[in-house]
């Protein structure tokens, strides 16, 4: 419990006035909850003694009417504040979590799966919020009722009968909850299996086209059923504890009830208490059952939340290797890029993908990068996005290490069109405007024209307002590529990177886009990664990358006159036309 409170202490400090008021409401409700039993006992003794009058009867009836009404109003106020506070806590925890995810670098996303990250922000955060907001009610209210009841039973009826009846409860509950602590390991395992199940469902939803294309629905469903069965099986261990623990709580209460009733009759016979006292006492014992069961439930919630808070904190403690420093410089424009002896290895790989690469790019140049599949072309140009720190060497911008600039400013310099196009379930224009939400209609039309997407609007039902299916499922491969290019172009970046982004368009469309780039991006830098040489034919400089190293460099005319990979591939591509 202390672990949870310490982790959300910042929120309790922010909302301390609300928590104090909720505490007052709970204590008031706990006091009112005990009053009817006292009124009932007093009424019985009054009737037995013959002291019941019209005035007394009226007062007793009014009290019995006002008490539940008062409890209802106080409970309504408490539940409203409790739910409001829970929603506020949930919102702030999710806000901090999601904000933290956006701060993380690519290494983090290679380490954690999507399903795992989703389960931590859903199931785990729900468990934390539930425990944090129910702690006050579960501990204060229920403990308040127990203490008030025991106090009244001891001071106004019989401390001996109270000791006999109630002493078994804390001893039994303590032993049971020590045993229940063992359930924690099953909860942790269940959270991990739940994350695996979530990842499997996400994978199936995202890959449904491929699954259908290869008629693998049955096999995929089988794997989903296995994941669901594992989740259910892991939950059975937890349910097993509850199935035999809950009856034990009732047994403890039953023993207490029998002791109270049996010794209470003995005390009446010996004229130590009255019949009304016994009725009141038995009522208080009955009132103790609910709070005791609730406290045991709270212990379960605390147990679950402790695991969840640890999983939540595991993510929140992660720090990105790529981050701004206090001295990081702003940058808006540049004159020269330089890769100097750059080597890069992905965090979980054994060997470098690119090795000891050096070259320069001047502002306004168009650079082509070609090479066989797996040569490291995408890895090379992605160093400009600051997704990772280079393993060795340096990337310089205007003779200053790229690591000394603000990450956001570096990324604002670049308009990047990746091989895998991520489109959102929004309209066409909204998908493009992601590149620059402040762009006007003129900039939007210009980006669409350069990307040669104008002709496609004629075939879309609602033109620019046509809703794009999830992950671009309603568009062809070429349309997705050109829409992604338009998104990068509307940003009007200093550096435009096309990472094999013309592979799905026909030769005529490719030529049109390249011509548009020449016309509209004069003075701006373009880096084109391609397999078709027609896309890089007019580049100022072409680099051939093989096995992570630059093996050739020069213009198209120079390279086709030199024996090597470029010339051989060019001849092969010309032959295939």
Q: Which residues pair with 495 in a beta bridge?
A: 414, 525
Helix (H) / strand (E) containing 529: strand 525-529
Q: What per-residue confidence (pLDDT) applies to 136?
A: 65
Helix (H) / strand (E) containing 293: helix 275-316
**Range name among 73-87, 113-127, 169-183 with the lowest pLDDT average:** 169-183
Q: Do 356 and 529 touch, CB atoms closer than 8 A?
A: no
Secondary structure of 78-118 in the HEC alphabet? HHHHHHHHHHHHHHHHHHHHHHHHHHCCHHHHHHCCHHHHH
Q: What are the structural domains, with CATH classification, of the chain?
A: 2-316 (1.20.1560.10), 336-576 (3.40.50.300)
pLDDT > 60? residue 320:
yes
Q: What per-residue confidence (pLDDT) applies to 245?
A: 63
The model's pLDDT over 188-237, given as tens digits with 9 standing for 90+, comes to: 677 777 777 777 777 777 677 667 766 777 787 888 778 888 877 777 76
Beta-carbon neighbour count of residue 541 at 10 Å?
Answer: 19
Tell me which of 79 and 135 has the higher pLDDT. 79
Q: What per-residue confidence (pLDDT) applies to 338?
A: 93
- Please name the residues in contact with 69: beta carbons below 8 A apart, sequence gap of 6 or more: none
Q: Do 282 and 260 touch, CB atoms closer than 8 A?
A: yes
pLDDT > 70? residue 184:
no
pLDDT > 60? residue 577:
no
Q: What per-residue confidence (pLDDT) applies to 558?
A: 92
pTM above 0.75, yes or no: no
Q: Do 99 and 315 touch, CB atoms closer than 8 A?
A: no
Q: Do 230 and 221 touch, CB atoms closer than 8 A?
A: no
Mean pLDDT of the chain: 82
Reduce the DSSP state of residue 540 to 3 states and report it: coil
Q: What per-residue confidence (pLDDT) applies to 167?
A: 73
400-435 burial: b if 16+ Cβ within 10 Å, else e: eebbebebeebeebbbbbbeebebeeebbbebbbbb
Q: What per-residue confidence (pLDDT) applies to 552?
A: 92
Over residues 461-473, the mean pLDDT reads 80
Q: Do 450 and 513 touch, CB atoms closer than 8 A?
A: yes
pLDDT > 80? residue 470:
no
**Strand-strand pairing, 366-370 and 549-554:** unpaired
Specify burial of residue 359 (Cβ count, 10 A radius: 0-12, 13-18, 19+).
middle
The model's pLDDT over 523-544, given as tens digits with 9 standing for 90+, comes to: 899 999 988 888 888 899 999 9
Ramachandran region of residue 356, left (φ > 0), alpha (ψ -120 to 50) or beta? left
The model's pLDDT over 334-378, given as tens digits with 9 standing for 90+, comes to: 999 999 999 999 888 888 999 999 999 999 999 999 999 889 998
Over residues 227-249, the mean pLDDT reads 71
- The CA distance from 514 to 205, in Å, is 36
Reduce the DSSP state of residue 24 to 3 states and report it: helix
The model's pLDDT over 12-59, given as tens digits with 9 standing for 90+, comes to: 888 888 888 888 887 788 777 777 766 766 677 677 667 667 777 777
- The CA distance from 45 to 31, in Å, is 22
């Amino acid at each position: 419990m202390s672990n949870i409170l310490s982790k959300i202490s910042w929120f309790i400090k922010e909302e301390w006035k609300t928590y104090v008021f909720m505490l007052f409401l709970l204590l008031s409700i706990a006091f009112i909850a005990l009053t009817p039993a006292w009124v009932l006992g007093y009424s019985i003794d009054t009737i037995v003694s013959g002291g019941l009058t019209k005035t007394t009867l009226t007062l007793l009836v009014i009290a019995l009417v006002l008490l539940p009404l008062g409890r209802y109003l106080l409970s309504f106020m408490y539940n409203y504040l409790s739910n409001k506070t829970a929603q506020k806590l949930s919102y702030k925890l999710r806000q901090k979590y999601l904000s933290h995810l956006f701060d993380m670098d690519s290494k983090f996303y290679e380490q954690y799966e999507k399903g795992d990250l989703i389960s931590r922000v859903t199931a785990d955060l729900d468990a934390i919020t539930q425990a944090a907001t129910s702690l006050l009610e579960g501990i204060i209210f229920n403990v308040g009722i127990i203490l008030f009841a025991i106090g009244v039973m001891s001071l106004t009826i019989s401390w001996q009968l109270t000791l006999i009846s109630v002493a078994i409860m804390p001893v039994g509950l303590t032993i049971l909850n020590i045993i229940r602590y063992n359930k924690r390991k099953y909860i942790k395992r269940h959270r991990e299996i739940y994350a695996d199940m979530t990842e499997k469902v996400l994978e199936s939803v995202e890959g449904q086209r491929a699954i259908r294309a290869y008629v693998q629905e049955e096999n995929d469903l089988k794997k989903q059923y296995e994941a669901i069965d594992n989740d259910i099986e892991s939950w059975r261990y937890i349910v097993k504890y509850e199935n035999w623990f809950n009856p034990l709580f009732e047994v403890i209460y039953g023993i207490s009830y029998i002791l109270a009733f049996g010794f209470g009759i003995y005390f009446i016979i010996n004229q130590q208490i009255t019949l009304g006292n016994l009725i009141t006492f038995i009522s208080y014992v009955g009132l103790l059952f609910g709070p005791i069961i609730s406290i045991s439930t709270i212990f379960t919630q605390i147990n679950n939340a402790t695991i969840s808070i640890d999983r939540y904190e595991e993510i929140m403690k992660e720090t990105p290797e790529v981050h701004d420093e206090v001295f990081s410089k702003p940058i808006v424009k540049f004159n020269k890029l330089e890769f100097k002896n750059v080597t890069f290895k992905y965090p979980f790989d054994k060997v470098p993908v690119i090795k000891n690469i050096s070259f320069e790019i001047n502002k306004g140049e168009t650079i082509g990068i070609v090479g066989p599949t797996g040569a490291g072309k995408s890895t090379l140009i992605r160093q400009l996005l600051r997704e990772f720190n280079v393993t060795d060497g340096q990337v310089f911008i205007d003779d200053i290490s790229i690591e000394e600039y603000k990450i956001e400013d570096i990324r604002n310099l670049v308009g990047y069109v990746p091989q895998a196009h991520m489109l959102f379930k929004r309209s066409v224009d909204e998908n493009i405007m992601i590149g620059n939400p402040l762009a006007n209609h003129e900039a939007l039309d210009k980006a669409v024209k350069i990307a040669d997407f104008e002709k496609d609007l004629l075939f879309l039902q609602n033109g620019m307002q046509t809703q794009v299916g999830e992950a671009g499922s309603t568009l062809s491969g070429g349309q997705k590529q050109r829409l992604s290019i338009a998104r990068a172009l509307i940003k009007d970046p200093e550096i435009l990177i096309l990472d094999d982004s013309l592979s799905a368009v026909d030769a005529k469309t490719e030529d049109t886009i390249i011509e548009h780039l020449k016309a509209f991006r004069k003075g701006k830098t373009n880096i084109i990664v391609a397999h078709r040489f027609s896309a890089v034919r007019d580049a100022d400089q072409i680099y051939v990358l093989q096995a992570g190293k630059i093996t050739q460099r020069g213009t198209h005319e120079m390279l086709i006159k030199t024996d090597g990979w470029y010339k051989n591939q060019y001849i092969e591509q010309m032959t295939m036309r």
